[in-house]
Chain A
Amino acid sequence: MTRFGMAIDMARCTGCQTCVVACQMHHALRPGVAWCAVDALEWGRWPDADRAFLPHACLHCDEPLCVSVCPTAASHKRDDGTVGIDEARCIGCGVCLTACPYGARTLNREDAWHFGAPSPAPYEIEGEGRVGVAEKCTFCIERVQVGLLPACVEACPVEARAFGDLDDPESPASAFAAETGARPVPGTGVLYADGGRGLDIGRVVTERYYAPASRSQTADGRVGEGNPAVVAGAGAAAAALAAAAGLAAKRNRDRRAKAQRRA
């Protein structure tokens, strides 16, 4: 059974981002959209410091949560092990974006083209339908099916990536993994060699994606968009209005009762 996967050697990765750009160019991604990200990891302080680069995109999980939450089966797991998105079925609900622990998916709502062009250039046609739908790394499956390598693997100038059938011990990915000691992120189709640092790659990616979102809430100790003074003022005003309405109703009732008694 084919199970496509990728092996990445962090010891070779220089953080040049060529893979990010190659992916954007090949798939004609819309402005501001990137399927691949390269995180710069740093530890310690000179002279006891360390630095590494962690390129990551969709990890093509064995049992993807994004597929199980998708309401229209736009996200699906293929027989070759890759996870795909059917653009024609996606309604852009965004649940898969939250369901992905690795932040691999994006949803672009801007129907714009690079350099502010009003219409796509001929080489951008592939990206035409990709507005308001979820998108992510596809392992360049249309290239793989004609015998090419994914764009990022081919473009990497330091050969930090390898792609192939993980179920075939002689595939380039398996050979690369054996050579570099790359280990899979548990439950996914991507292997990482972390230069002997013993990292929990999956956890690192998850934290880098989710922690800033909640940290921005605490940047100045305030949470959310509400100004406490405004909210408290609104609450006091509402309470005062309710009290006034209650008083007015009581006065009305008393006046009516008095009129009735007189009649």
Chain B
Amino acid sequence: MFGDSIIWYLFLGGGGAGAAAVLAACDLLFAHRSRLGRSDRLAWTDELSRPLFARGYLAATVALVLGALCLLFELGRPERFLYVLALPTASVLTFGSYVLAATIVCAAALGGVALFGSARTPVVLVRALEWAALALGLATTAYTGVLLAQIGFVPLWGSPLLPALFTCSSLSVGVACTMAAALPDARRAPRLLRALARADSVVIAVEALVLTAYLASAAFGSGQAEAVEAFLFGPGMWFFWIGFVACALALPLALDFSYTGCGRVALAAAAVPLVLAGGFFLRYCIVNVPWT
């Protein structure tokens, strides 16, 4: 069916958009806290720094651009790639191309602001870009799921919970990227990393719930029990159980809990590559779903 490059596109596009959304949300929470007079629960936002945002947004931009390039290089007529923007239709792909392009612009702009001149940039513009990055990032992560879900005759694809699952996974990857961006400052800003680890645990818990609901509704609601069985216990099951469940859900959850408990930064650092690998394998398993 879809080739390997679409898996990388879904992962890099979704993950990069998730990272942009999470970074934007962090700064918006900091702004929220400043306006509300120093609430204690958001005290960790004081530890956000310009270098963190520079690292994070640039990584997000690179991921988004690489993802788009994955798709571009696979086109039969790559020289016509602008047609998706210039000849729009009411299709999911048109919508996705627009939001992806807009997310790249926002992430690059915010990365530029973080690198070159957050003092000279009007705050209103920065806030607007952040709200845009948050909304467009979430739209992009959902779109990666809708892209598959619209092809409803493929087993396990035609579910409204698939976009939800991909969004949760992209947000988890986004939080992991933010944690990675925060690691160099881990000594100086312990509360930040702890807040991110806690957020990661919450997102992963939600992701696990959505995964269960997704498989349950396919098996018991859409009569695809055979497809779910083949997905969970057929050939390729280890890509799911180890590649996704262990790497993206179980291990990072355990690592995040033990980090928030004992404060050893290495635990949080170890969670990051696991979440990234797990995010890739989720898309790998879903795109390569066995036909039943």
Contact = CB atoms under 8 A, between A and B. Distances in A.
A217 interface: yes
Interface string B269-292: 110010000000000100011110
A61 to B, nearest CB: 12
A246 B265 CA distance: 11
Contacts of A90: 76-77, 80
A69 B234 CA distance: 30
Contacts of A246: 266, 269
A89 interface: yes
B1 A98 contact: yes
Contacts of B88: 71
A221 B91 contact: no
A181 interface: no
Given A93-B71, A246-B266, A217 B84 contact: no
A217 B93 contact: no
A89 B1 contact: no
B260 interface: no
Interface residues of B, number: 39
7 contacts: A69-B91, A90-B76, A90-B80, A94-B76, A99-B150, A217-B288, A218-B234
A224 B74 contact: no
Interface of B: 1-3, 71, 74-78, 80-81, 83-84, 87-89, 91-94, 97, 147, 150-151, 153-154, 234-236, 239, 266, 269-270, 273, 284, 288-291
A223 B233 CA distance: 13
A99 B269 CA distance: 40
B84 A68 contact: no
Contacts of B80: 90-92
A99 B71 CA distance: 17
Contacts, number: 109
Which A-B residue pairs are the 4 nearest by beta carbons?
A92-B76, A132-B76, A71-B93, A223-B236
Interface stretch (A117-125, A143-151, A208-216): A208-216
Contacts of B91: 68-71
Contact of A134 (B3, B76, B97, B266): B76
Contacts of A73: 87, 89
Contacts of B269: 246
B87 A89 contact: yes
Contacts of B87: 71-73, 89
B266 A132 contact: no
Contacts of B150: 65, 68-69, 99
B67 to A, nearest CB: 14
A215 B1 CA distance: 12
A223 B239 contact: yes
B9 to A, nearest CB: 11
A101 interface: yes
B15 to A, nearest CB: 19
Contacts of A98: 1-2, 151, 154
Nearest to A76: B89
Contact of A95 (B83, B93, B290): B93
Interface string A86-112: 000111111100110100000101000
A218 B292 CA distance: 13
Interface in A199-251: 206-207, 210-211, 213-215, 217-218, 221-224, 238, 242, 246
A160 interface: no
A242 B270 contact: yes
